[in-house]
Structure 1
Amino acid sequence: MDVVLLAKAAVMGVVEGLTEFLPISSTGHLILAGSLLGFDDERAKVFDIAIQTGAIFAVILVYWQRLWSTLRALPTQAQAQRFAVNVLIAFFPAVILGLLFGKAIKAHLFTPTVVASTFILGGLVILWAERRPRSAVRIDHVESMQPLDALKVGLAQCLAMVPGTSRSGATIIGGMLFGLSRQAATDFSFFLAIPTLIGAGAYSLYKERAMLSVADAPLFAVGLLFSFLSAWVCVRWLLRYIATHSFVPFAWYRIGFGVLVFATAWSGLVTWAQ
């Protein structure tokens, strides 16, 4: 395996892990990083989706005790059962719309121009959401969510099918707009990510299996490893951060980064692959 290619896989893994759970769009960053690195062919698109699984293992590790206690309580406790049902309710809208429109979206919207546009738009939405009065909060813990709350968050997650929107951003900010506290929205976003990203990764690998070979295993292994390690660091940091901070800095980051992509493309400084 080419050492340079493995190095690119490591960089892409770090990008994925650091951006998957922040409201700044991992897919958008991967598209831009892949464009800069020349790692943007059809196999790379499968790679980008597959390495999300590494980031999910980090979430499972961080939330292991909570997940295990919920699984043990499922047969007997109504609260655990309601939580599991809510995650499933939020999960299915993305499955349905992904199967219907995923191929078309990947073919037409996975471009730096779309990413830059959604970066800016998403940043403005975050600024608006963070300026809403905190009196709008109805739910402080994920266990208090009702099925309708879960469905709303699941529908918000569907917006992340457009690259640059951010799955975590759509679910966290959407949850906050629907009445969840910042902590509850973040927790539910992480739990919802487990079936969503594992399912997306497994489906992508299965669908594109003819494109891959055993020789690609080291490439994917490096990407998964670096995705896992960087995501583990990021998730632990984010859970501490949201206890005392808002998402406003991420909004300005999104806006600034989107403007930078447009500026470099317009000036010719960077030729972004389309």
Structure 2
Amino acid sequence: MNEHIIALLLGIVEGVTEFLPISSTGHMILVGSLLGFEGEKANTFEVIIQLGSMLSILVLYWKRYLSLLNFSSIGKPEKKLDAIHIILGVVPAAIVGLLLHDFIKNQLFSPKVVVVSLVAGAILMIFAEKKHGKFTSNTVDELSYKQAFTIGLFQCLAVIPGFSRAGSTISGGLLVGANHKTAAEFSFLVALPIMVGATGLDFMKSLHFLDTSDIPMFAIGFITAFVVAMCVAVLFLKILGKIGLTVFAYYRIVLAAVFIVFVLL
């Protein structure tokens, strides 16, 4: 298959799955395997298009990120999301990711781990839907520092390939009293710094695999992932409160079965 078509298809897959609680890593491994696009070049390509998805969040929430630079609002009695919330939501996973980066890349990036993580993440999501109590935070501005930190702890699960950063953080958000939209929005906001850091580190380690002849392919994937991710993020926020996480959990279980059939067998 033409590599430009492969770039387009994978860009769509990345854009659709990055912010949904269904594991973008799992989908990229599965689709890459089916397309025969694997190896170091494929890994570098995935890093590039992930940055495209992340850019979409910066575009959607640039005003919110800009407001975080107003440190004078920190500690004020009125409720307002500030930089401390984001730091608390990012630091736990950042520390775990830095400490275990090489182990994760060398030992955990395997189809077997992805299958187990898809099912484990699905169980967490179903549990969160059934066990969450009354919602006490209906906007991100109503989140407490304690809630932000707890969601950050749940984000640590996302360092395991296939678990899904969105799935773990949104589940954590529900369990600490955030409604679906609030949990999803906070998940998006803490995704940018953590993913830019992670993909930036991977990008620096992958520079020697890049070649000028790859630029058109990488550009197609990057732009496609950016556009699709932006559309999916907006739509996801509109429908999540109505459909909940359970439907995505069942999808993950089906995906795990597909993984076993097409990748492991």
Structure 2: which 5+ runs fail to align?
A: none
Per-residue CA distance 1:73-103 (angstroms, 9 max, x = gap): x154336985212112221222222122122
- Secondary structure, aligned partner of 1:11: helix
Contact preservation (8 Å) 1:120, 1:259:
no
Aligned to 1:267: none
1:47 aligns with 2:45: yes
1:239 aligns with 2:229: no
Contact preservation (8 Å) 1:35, 1:272:
no
CA distance 1:81–1:214, shift in 2 (3 Å): farther
Per-residue CA distance 1:228-274 (angstroms, 9 max, x = gap): 11111111110110242211110110111112322x2xxxxx3559x
User: Which one-letter code corresponds to 1:173 in the other structure?
Assistant: S
Per-residue CA distance 1:13-46 (angstroms, 9 max, x = gap): 1111100111001011111111111222023222
Structure 1: which 5+ runs fail to align?
A: 265-269
Matches within 5 A, 1:186-265: 186-262=184-260, 264=261
1:121 aligns with 2:153: no
CA distance 1:171–1:31, shift in 2 (3 Å): same
Contact preservation (8 Å) 2:132, 2:175:
no
Aligned to 1:181: 179
Equivalent of residue 73 in structure 2, options 69, 73, 77:
77
User: Which one-letter code corresponds to 1:98 in the other structure?
Assistant: G
Quote the RMSD (CA, aligned, Å): 2.1
User: Which one-letter code corresponds to 2:125 in the other structure?
Assistant: I
Contact preservation (8 Å) 2:137, 2:178:
yes
Aligned residues: 262
TM-score scaled by structure 1?
Answer: 0.87
Write the distance in 1 (CA, Å) between the matches of 2:13 and 2:117.
18
Once the two structures are TM-superposed, the CA of residue 167 in structure 1 deviates from its matched residue by: 0.6
CA distance 1:109–1:133, shift in 2 (3 Å): closer
- Secondary structure, aligned partner of 1:242: helix
Once the two structures are TM-superposed, the CA of residue 177 in structure 1 deviates from its matched residue by: 1.4
Write the distance in 1 (CA, Å) between the matches of 2:132 and 2:219.
45
1:139 aligns with 2:137: yes
- Secondary structure, aligned partner of 1:131: helix
CA distance 1:196–1:133, shift in 2 (3 Å): closer
CA distance 1:130–1:75, shift in 2 (3 Å): closer
Write the distance in 2 (CA, Å) between the matches of 1:82 and 1:235.
20
Equivalent of residue 10 in structure 1, options 5, 8, 11:
8
Contact preservation (8 Å) 1:32, 1:272:
no
Per-residue CA distance 1:36-72 (angstroms, 9 max, x = gap): 112220232222123111112222223344444x257
Write the distance in 2 (CA, Å) between the matches of 1:155 and 1:230.
28
